[in-house]
Amino acid sequence: GDSVTQMEGPVTLSEEAFLTINCTYTATGYPSLFWYVQYPGEGLQLLLKATKADDKGSNKGFEATYRKETTSFHLEKGSVQVSDSAVYFCALRLDYKLSFGAGTTVTVRA
């Protein structure tokens, strides 16, 4: 079935460090890909998305490129801030169903 595998955490970084969270997927068709972020005690917010191969999603300094050849959608940010501390979820959507990875907890220290 369709599934998402993302890098296990937790990840701890210093402010202004470079962040990468790996995400790969398995799908029978051509999914749309998403990154959601969950801050402590809150719901999920859409961070960025890409709907077809080679699309790049970007928002708030985060970027991810839909790579069909490697079935990946890695999340990157060049310089993290303390406020980026959260759980990040990679997800794929085929038709109506949205399937999530396990989530990666990121902690940024001042």
Partner 1 sequence: NAGVMQNPRHLVRRRGQEARLRCSPMKGHSHVYWYRQLPEEGLKFMVYLQKENIIDESGMPKERFSAEFPKEGPSILRIQQVVRGDSAAYFCASTSMDPGTGAVVSGNTIYFGEGSWLTVV
CB of 109 to partner 1, least distance (A): 21
- Distance in angstroms (rounded) separating the CA atoms of residues 12 and 1: 32
Q: Which is nearer to partner 1, 19 or 88 (CB)?
A: 88
C-alpha 31/C-alpha 28 separation (Å) is 8
Residues in the site for partner 1, rule: CB under 8 A? 31-32, 34, 36, 42-46, 49, 51, 89, 93-103
CB of residue 63 to partner 1, shortest distance in Å: 18
The residue to which tokens 């990040």 are assigned: 88
- CB closer to partner 1, 17 vs 65: 65
Q: Of 17 and 99, which CB lies nearer to partner 1 in the complex structure?
A: 99
Give the span between the Cα atoms of 51 and 57, in whole angstroms: 9
Query: Which residue's CB is nearer to partner 1, number 35 or number 77?
Result: 35
Q: How far apart are CA 9 and CA 31, in angstroms?
A: 25
- The minimum distance between CB 96 and partner 1, in angstroms, equals 5
